[in-house]
């Protein structure tokens, strides 16, 4: 299957201190702006997803957007990003790597930008939004 939207934001993951409080808020907000529930902890607008994950107290100074995942139109794009990151000496967290526990076709590279923000570039052709 070809991802129908081309390049773009694949998903955003929020780390929160109180999952139930966050879900109570977003479960009311998202329907107002056209987003719908995918799972108890994730929402979509049809071509982007937002996930919520409760983090232990030790991580509370890291709450907020955990990472932004950009959609890659092919595995070759992920490989190109990985090669470029290696050339410039960027902090690669993982990858390029297959992540079959997410989806059989999930292929990704996770890394930090110069500010330390976590970014991901993933090719996910079989994930249905």
Question: Which domains are assigned to the chain?
Answer: 8-123 (3.10.180.10)
Reported as a single tens digit per residue, the pLDDT across 71-112 is 888 899 899 999 999 998 999 999 999 999 988 999 999 988
Mean pLDDT across 103-127 = 86
Q: What pTM was computed for the model?
A: 0.67
Choose between 3 and 53: higher pLDDT.
53
List b or e across 69-93, with b for residues whose CB sees 16 or more CB atoms inside 10 angstroms: bbbbeebebbbebbeebeeeebeee
């Amino acid at each position: 299957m070809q991802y129908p939207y081309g390049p773009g934001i694949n998903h955003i993951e929020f780390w929160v201190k109180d999952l139930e409080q966050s879900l109570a808020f977003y479960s009311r907000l998202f329907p107002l702006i056209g987003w719908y529930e995918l799972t108890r902890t994730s929402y979509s607008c049809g071509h982007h997803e937002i996930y919520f994950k409760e983090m232990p107290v030790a991580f509370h100074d890291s709450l907020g957007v955990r990472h932004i995942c950009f959609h890659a139109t092919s595995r070759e794009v992920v490989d190109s990003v990985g090669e470029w990151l290696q050339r410039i000496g960027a902090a690669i967290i993982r990858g390029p790597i297959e992540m079959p526990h997410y989806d059989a076709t999930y292929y990704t590279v996770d890394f930090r930008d110069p500010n330390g923000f976590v970014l991901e570039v993933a090719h996910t052709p079989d994930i249905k939004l």
